[in-house]
Structure 1
Amino acid sequence: MKFIIPSLSLRSSRNCCYPAQKSIMASPLTQTLTLSQTQTGSFHADPAQDDLDDIPCSEPQQERQERQQLLLSSSDSLPLGFGSPSRCLSGESLVERAWTHWAKLGRPKLIVAPMVDNSELPFRMLCRKYGAEAAYTPMLHSRIFTENEKYRNQEFTTCKEDRPLFVQFCANDPEVLLEAAMRVEPFCDYVDINFGCPQRIARRGNYGAFLMDNLPLVKSLVQKLALNLNVPVSCKIRVFPDLQDTIKYARMLEDAGCSLLAVHGRTRDEKDGKKFRADWDAIRAVKNAVRIPVLANGNIRHVDDVHTCLEKTGADGVLSAESLLENPALFAGYRTAEWVVGSEGSERDGKLDQTDLLVEYLKFCERYPVPWRMIRAHVHRMLGDWFRMHPHVREDLNSQSKLTFEFLYNMVDRLRELGTRIPLYLDDKHGDRVPADGLVSRDV
């Protein structure tokens, strides 16, 4: 059962440094939400396609109303006992409570990183099926989240199996951030603040990694949540070029009330993950400098990287982003052919490929509807190698201004009938990470 954030009373718009947002009318066909172009940094060249791709793949109005009512009445949606806000606790008590909460969640180590438009509910559920133990939502824009019901309904959905869950916001106004956070705190295990986005859209909006230039504001954002929420606050950061600045930054966040810190081991200027290796030594230094749980982000391409990263950083878990988009079964031990080369022949065909994963993803989308633009993006990422071999199939996909599930399932059948299969591989030494039922069922 999918939960949708219910409509709450909205206050008047504030003046802030985010780009102006259009008012959204009821009809998605006549005036659709343009966040994917103006707020998240992704850009669609064809306005007509943009409109069609922003429509949810399916969702009857009656079903939405029933889910909203369930959300309001569900006892499962209550926070997991983090307790009252931390306004009266000492530093030692805050650290102790941070670890108690982490232990209640089962100390998850394999975590889906936040990805704009890409870590939505169906994708999170697919990754969870293949070993992910926790997940972040996509980055949500705090001001738009407080002001726009359509944005809330499309960009944040969850279900009772979607736990542990981090809900991530970008923000530069503590009051706006708190209002957004209070809307989601009954349905998540952490409210996360994005201090790591390095993209130009974050520079223009004055959020993400560009708040590293304004540490008093960073501190006030964390404190506002820590003093007023019943769920813990987590933060996702990038490192400074100078290690000591990074350590001071991490300790400041801990002192402000951060209960869990995810560290991306690249600087704000190191945007290209293929060109710049994440600095695991810097992550280890942060882990040694703070007393709260720390997650490592960067260089997680297959399951061997997970074990190596945990060993070298001492972190309490790892996040993966780009690699999961191509291979959502990464945490179950599957790897693409790119990471089989030089493995001394220990890999075997895992009897699973990316068309199998896409079919499972589409079935999750039928159950948990999302805008078609998200589905389109996942199709391209999961089937990138297949499309390079059969570019005419990709061209057919790109020519579709309106996607349907029937078209996508037929496209998968076409790729399979072309006779070239691109398997995912399993390393025998990591066979214990494969789901207990062996081959994955096609029925999600």
Structure 2
Amino acid sequence: MVGDEGGGERDGAMEAPRAAAREARLCELVEKSARGEPLSKSAIKKLRKLEWRASSEARERVKDVRKERRELRKQGDAPAAAAPACAPTRALRAPFSLTPADAGARAYAFWRRIGEPKAVLAPMVNHSELAFRLLARRHGAPLVYTQMLNATSFVSSAAYRADNFERLAADRPLIAQFAGDNGATIERAARHVVGAVDAIDLNCGCPQAIAKRGHYGAYLLDEPDLIVSIVQHLSGTLDVPVCVKIRVLPSAAATLSLALRLQEAGCVLLTVHGRTRERKSRGEADWAAIAAVKAALAIPVIANGGVERAEDFAACLAATGADAVMTSEAALENPAIFAGAPCTRARQLALAAEYVALADEHRPPSFAIVKSHLFKLLYISLAEHTDLRAALGAAKSHEQLRAVYNELAARERAVGDAAPDAFAARCDCDGAPFVSWYRRHRGVVSGGDGGGAVAGGAVDADYAP
């Protein structure tokens, strides 16, 4: 019996590497197929076998997840106090106030623990779900954030937690972003994820109307005392580091004052979006304003806003002196930006295939999230194959969605055969042969077939908190 148990343990230990090898081989074959490279009969047979196995395993996992969610909804939303992870709030250990030297030493110890990343995937409403985070990590993202999580819903609803937060060992380092205006509530929400994340982030950057109605995000910037008190409470009660994401304020003095107060209150990492709340995503990001904040603080600063191409990471780091650069919208159309890869029509087709496979395995809470990602990844292709754009919008299941993608991939291979240079050309620069999704809302001033060069500053997604 002991020998049998040992054999079972060895088999279990070997299964993870085997699964990883199968996934790597599947991705390799899918990418080759998407690029139009000919596959041998044995490779085609292997591809079909791997796709069938991945689909079968994914269906079993999805069944388990759906069963768990149904059970949670049958039980109803239990009071927060019933959950051990959501125990009554703690009293502050002591009034939380740090000198710049103490704040810097504490913060950079955390920064080193998570690998001192230079590029970061932003928290994006309904777009930073697990499947997309894993895709970004696969292509070089060293640090990612969850989507914005409503603290009140996270505390009160087990179903909301199951739908919006999934624990996975490979999904680290990870920062969970919460939206709310009450320190005790955010603390309780954070206790549900302690141990599964490397830090929590307070959203003080979302400029949308829903944030105004909910009294969170960038609408807290009108009440700096409230933001500071929340960060003090979290820093003094939680055993996980506390970060904050803000936007620049109308005056440089107000921005610096808030940043310094947050550092003193225990914030270990400050992300600064270089646009005011009122500007949302319009116009160029103010990198000089971010540089002023970085120069004044002793803690790590992440610059956000104005990144479209891989080269923009280095330009932003140089201009701001920041410790890292965060991007949102550019990564939605090209998750391989983190690996330094330019956006091309051919690359987007391969990335979309990877995302479909990951979404099969790690189903987002809403099917609309999957379609939204594909509309962005395949914007150029769908603009040409309008019937498939309509079919993607009408898809009701992952099987229908995969069928639409397969048909689109077949047509795109024909496009690539007819115009290989344009198909492999960059779409994220002036004079590009196609207008990419990132550049869709700026005026085209020059370019080849379909345009590409545009006027105006770089923009980030409105939905990036």
Q: Which residue of 1 aligns with 2:300?
A: 293
CA distance in 1, matches of 2:305, 2:93: 32
Q: Which residue of 2 aligns with 1:438?
A: none
Q: Are residues 146 and 424 of structure 1, via their aligned partners in 2, closer, same or farther at CA, if it must alter by over 3 Å?
A: farther
CA distance in 1, matches of 2:319, 2:167: 34
Q: Which residue of 166, 172, 188 maps to 2:181? A: 172
Paired residue type of 1:187:
A
Give the RMSD, CA atoms, in angstroms: 2.6
Q: Which residue of 1 aligns with 2:348?
A: 354
Quick check: 1:306 aligned with 2:313?
yes
Could you report, residue by residue, the CA deviation over 1:258-312 in whole angstroms, capped at 9, with x for unpaired residues?
Answer: 010000000001113xx31100000000000111000000111111100100011
How far is the alpha carbon of 1:216 from its aligned partner?
Answer: 1.3
CA distance in 2, matches of 1:425, 1:364: 25
Quick check: 1:387 aligned with 2:382?
yes
Q: Are residues 358 and 140 of structure 1, via their aligned partners in 2, closer, same or farther at CA, if it must alter by over 3 Å?
A: same
Quick check: 1:214 aligned with 2:217?
no
CA distance in 2, matches of 1:360, 1:64: 26
**Structure 2: unaligned runs, 5 residues or longer:** 1-58, 69-91, 417-422, 429-465
Could you report, residue by residue, the CA deviation over 1:135-157 in whole angstroms, capped at 9, with x for unpaired residues?
Answer: 00000000000011111011111
Q: Which residue of 132, 140, 148 maps to 1:139? A: 148
| Max Rg structure | 2
CA distance in 2, matches of 1:292, 1:190: 15
Question: Which range moves more in the overlay, 174-183 or 367-376?
Answer: 367-376
Q: Which residue of 332, 339, 342 maps to 1:335? A: 342
Could you report, residue by residue, the CA deviation over 1:404-430 in whole angstroms, capped at 9, with x for unpaired residues?
Answer: 2x2222222211222224446599xxx
Paired residue type of 1:236:
K
Q: Which residue of 266, 269, 272 maps to 2:278? A: 269
Identity %: 38
Q: Which residue of 1 aligns with 2:263?
A: 254
CA distance in 2, matches of 1:63, 1:241: 46
Q: Which residue of 2 aligns with 1:398?
A: 393
3-state SS in 2 of match to 1:138 = coil
CA distance in 1, matches of 2:105, 2:114: 15
Q: Which residue of 69, 73, 93 maps to 2:102? A: 93
Q: Which residue of 2 aligns with 1:40?
A: none
**Is the CA contact 1:85–1:230 (under 8 Å) kept in the aligned structure 2?**
no
3-state SS in 2 of match to 1:312 = helix
CA distance in 2, matches of 1:209, 1:426: 32
How far is the alpha carbon of 1:366 from its aligned partner?
Answer: 2.3
Q: Are residues 113 and 415 of structure 1, via their aligned partners in 2, closer, same or farther at CA, if it must alter by over 3 Å?
A: same
Higher relative helix content:
2
Quick check: 1:61 aligned with 2:64?
yes
3-state SS in 2 of match to 1:413 = helix
Q: Which residue of 1 aligns with 2:405?
A: 412
How far is the alpha carbon of 1:244 from its aligned partner?
Answer: 1.2
CA distance in 1, matches of 2:129, 2:65: 22
CA distance in 2, matches of 1:96, 1:204: 38
Q: Are residues 399 and 256 of structure 1, via their aligned partners in 2, closer, same or farther at CA, if it must alter by over 3 Å?
A: same
**Is the CA contact 2:129–2:146 (under 8 Å) kept in the aligned structure 1?**
yes
3-state SS in 2 of match to 1:270 = coil
How far is the alpha carbon of 1:211 from its aligned partner?
Answer: 0.5
3-state SS in 2 of match to 1:329 = helix
Q: Which residue of 2 aligns with 1:7?
A: none
**Is the CA contact 2:103–2:298 (under 8 Å) kept in the aligned structure 1?**
no
How far is the alpha carbon of 1:114 from its aligned partner?
Answer: 0.4
